Structure 1
């Protein structure tokens, strides 16, 4: 591993040595976190074995990907952090690993996993939960009730043995940690650290997590592949700018090999994960590049439509008003006499609204 060298006890203190001493605890903390992640990695590893086509009423990989995209839509709709989405998808995959699920129960399980992920995020950050179960049910259109989601959430917590306050390590945590290690290694090599926006790294993690092809990959392997995929993009941008790629930048691939050895990743498994990630990203980029010829159509269920516009009790048709048409010559004459008053006239065609008095200032 690339580690900062330990300072000799007899060395004189100088500003340079003091600054290097300040970097040592940071690097040591990163490697300490890396070892902790390795110890917890197997606890959150799913082992999905889903068929491509359902023969005996089993959940397929297409249904799994559909549930993952529903979770991503809920994340975007309620503006939830990416860690909630990745945790919910991991709960869904781990539950399908242990339990045999019927396709009709998939919508309820999907919303329940998001419900658990939101609860754990609120508990971890010590914030008030701002998304209710009723809102999750209404927006997801899962055809289940809030009581069904609450009961299914308890089943998932029991089957997965989720302990309260237990630390969860996701592929997103791995990607953030490995990127910080790569940036630290670039600084040690004297290379300008590669630039990576947080949103770009989160987008790559979400794309990989939502595809069933990457569901069974180790979180460390998947994160390492995504980090160096972003690094390759950075090297391509440097070459296009005309500035040229520093020769020392290629030593970061040696650092990747050292990370691979430290995390006990085999070459065959890492290459297989890299091929799957490239396939998933190429499919995603192809869909994004395709022109959208179909207009966006919102399809709402009857229950959701009544919630959004509660007009179910109103009549859609008004009664026909029958009118009598008289010719000019046959218009009946109204005979008035001095003894008749307006109260004796026929008032059946008068509006039924009450007459309100009008008060004048004068």
Structure 2
């Protein structure tokens, strides 16, 4: 049976938070495995951080192309990092692993009517493997992850924290922290390997703190700061850890905005669709042909 995290629709914040924190460590990628990837040379024989980051950007392109939700992308990255941290795979197999993690996330997060055929995913990405290869790889991934799919992602924490903080602010202060902008920033962070080693809850609160600091709104900063401090205490996060991750977030988003960086918002889909494939694909598959930018303002 696929593991699930307790539902959160009608539960108080404290109950929701405890449910997520209780299982967070179980869904973390193995640090030892991530360090092996981090220390690997880019010689085409071993997995490297660069290859992982390129694969994540491809999955982000696919997410946007099909119009899938942010949770699908975050879950796919969670599955990918967890699998890469427990299995030594060759670079030539990475595209199959990545697409299988993406497909598992799609089937877990999206409505059944919106789930594409595996054959369509393969054709769009122009990969050489077959549906049978995907089925075998998907089974391997699920077995190595003990069939635990529904991870408490950074996105789930981010949405929970944002909602909790908004409840403590007046209507004017609530416009400071834009969830749309925060989710776009989180996607940029997912594209950077360094955040694979950071707990989702810590990444989520660091993103909120960074965004609150960036808004430079003295009139509302005190209210938001008080809410952030209370949340940090509930999470039992040390000041030093929060500052460190907040700085990493700042550097990542700065690189993302740098015109010299190969950032997702200027990266076109590299997949070419043949006429035959185009005739077979559903019309809804042509929603977006590029990756999202981060909204300029918090309003």
| TM norm structure 1 | 0.65
Match of 1:7 in 2: none
Query: For the structure 1 residues 109 and 147, does the alpha-carbon distance in structure 2 shift closer, same or farther, using more than 3 Å as the test?
Result: same
Distance in 1, Cα, partners of 2:83 & 2:55: 13
1:209 to partner: Cα distance: 1.0
Aligned counterpart for 1:212 among listed residues 169, 193, 214: 193
Q: Deviations over 1:177-206 (max 9, x none)?
A: 11112212224xx97323444431221111
Aligned to 2:141: 156
| Unaligned stretches of 5+ residues in structure 2 | 1-8, 280-299
Provide structure 1 residue ranges, at least 5 long, that are not aligned to the other structure: 1-25, 239-244, 311-362
| Cα-to-partner distance string for 1:71-126 (whole Å, 9 max, x where unaligned) | 0011111111111111111100000111111111101101100111111114xx5x
Aligned mate of 2:174, from 193, 206, 211: 193
Instruction: Find the partner of 2:120 among 121, 129, 135.
Output: 135
- Residue 146 of structure 1 aligns with which residue? 131
2:77 maps to 1:89 = yes
**Cα shift at 1:213:** 1.6
Larger RCO (CA under 8 A, 6+ residues apart): 2
Q: Could you say which residue in structure 1 is the equivalent of 2:155?
A: 172
Give the length in aligned residue pairs.
264
Contact 2:106 2:115 in 1 (8 A): no
Counterpart of 1:261 (choices 233, 237, 241) is 233
Q: Residues 88 and 195 from structure 1, CA distance in 2 versus in 1: closer, same or farther, beyond 3 angstroms?
A: same
Q: Aligned residue for 2:64?
A: 76
Structure 1 residues 135 and 193: alpha-carbon distance in aligned structure 2, compared to 1, 3 A threshold:
same
Does residue 221 of the first structure (1) align with residue 165 of the second (2)?
no
Please state how far the C-alpha of 1:45 moved relative to its aligned partner.
1.4
Residues 124 and 271 of structure 2 are in contact (CA less than 8 Å); yes or no, is this contact kept in structure 1?
no
TM-score (norm 2): 0.78
CA contact (8 A) 1:52 1:62 kept: no
More helix by share: 2
Q: What's the RMSD between the two structures over aligned residues?
A: 3.1
Residues in 2 aligned to 1:276 and 1:61: alpha-carbon distance in whole angstroms? 16
For the 8 Å contact 1:213–1:280, the answer to whether it is kept is no
3-state SS, counterpart of residue 113 of structure 2: coil
Bigger Cα displacement from structure 2, 47-56 vs 86-95: 47-56
